[in-house]
Amino acid sequence: MIFWKAFFQNSTVGESSEKNFKNIFLLDKTCDKIELKDIYLSSTKNINLYELEQLCDSVGWVKRPLKKVKIALKNSSIIISLIQKNDSKTRLVGFARATSDNGFNATIWDVVIHPDFQGLGLGKVIMHQLIKQLRQAEISTITLFAEPDVISFYKKLGFIKDPDGVKGMFWYPR
C-alpha cells in the first residue's frame, strides 16, 4: 500500500467559491503498477464532461446524457476529483460528488477511480476528502448506495448498512 501525503499548492484556503482548497498536490510516486506522477486532489466544480464520461466508461458504467450530467454536477454541493498532470496534459483519474440539504443530510454519488489507478489508496483519499468537507459543513448524516462488490470498501471508511433497521425505499417510473 502506498501512503499518500498531501500538501497544499497555490493554497486557496478561505476562498468562498471553493470551500477549502483548489488543488492539493499528492506526492509523486512510482510503484510497480504504474508511474504515478503529479496527482492533484481538486474541489473544482469545473469538470470536463467528456473526461468524466470516459472515466465512467472505463469502469463500465452505463452512459448518461451529458446534458443531465452537467445539471447534476451544477447542483452537487461538493465535487472532488483527482487529476494527473503530466507536462501540459491533464487526465481525470478519479471523481466523487455529494448532494446535500446543507443542514442535516448528504448523499455521495459517482465514486470512481480509473482502473489503472485502483488499489493504490486513491479511492480512500477522495472519500476522506469528501467526508471531511461534509463534516466541515456540519452535515451529520451521510448516505450512499453501494454495489455489493464495493460494500467492504465503504465499510472500511466507516459506513454501516441500515442502521437501526431503517430500510431505504425507492420509487422508479414504470
Ligand X SMILES: CC(C)(COP(=O)(O)OP(=O)(O)OC[C@H]1O[C@@H](n2cnc3c(N)ncnc32)[C@H](O)[C@@H]1OP(=O)(O)O)[C@@H](O)C(=O)NCCC(=O)NCCS
Catalytic residue numbers? 154
Among 122, 130, 131, 139, binds ligand X (CB under 6 A): 122
The residue (of 18 and 91) whose beta carbon lies closer to ligand X is 91
x/- string (CB under 6 A) for ligand X, residues 82-111?
A: -----------------------------x
DSSP 28: P
Instruction: List C-alpha distances in Å: 129 to 125, 160, 165.
Output: 6, 19, 28
C-alpha R_g of the chain: 16
Is the CB of residue 87 less than 8 Å from the CB of residue 68? no
Site for ligand X in 38-67 (CB under 6 A): 59
Closer residue to ligand X (CB): 31 or 150? 150
In the complex, least distance from residue 95 CB atom to ligand X, rounded to whole angstroms: 9
Query: Of the two residues 25 and 109, which places its CB atom closer to ligand X in the complex?
Result: 109
Q: How far is CA 150 from CA 8, 99, 122, 140, 147, in A?
A: 30, 20, 14, 23, 6
> Which helix (DSSP H) or strand (DSSP E) does residue 132 occupy?
helix 122-136
**Site residues (CB under 6 A) for ligand X?**
1, 59, 111-113, 118-124, 146-147, 149-150, 152-153, 156
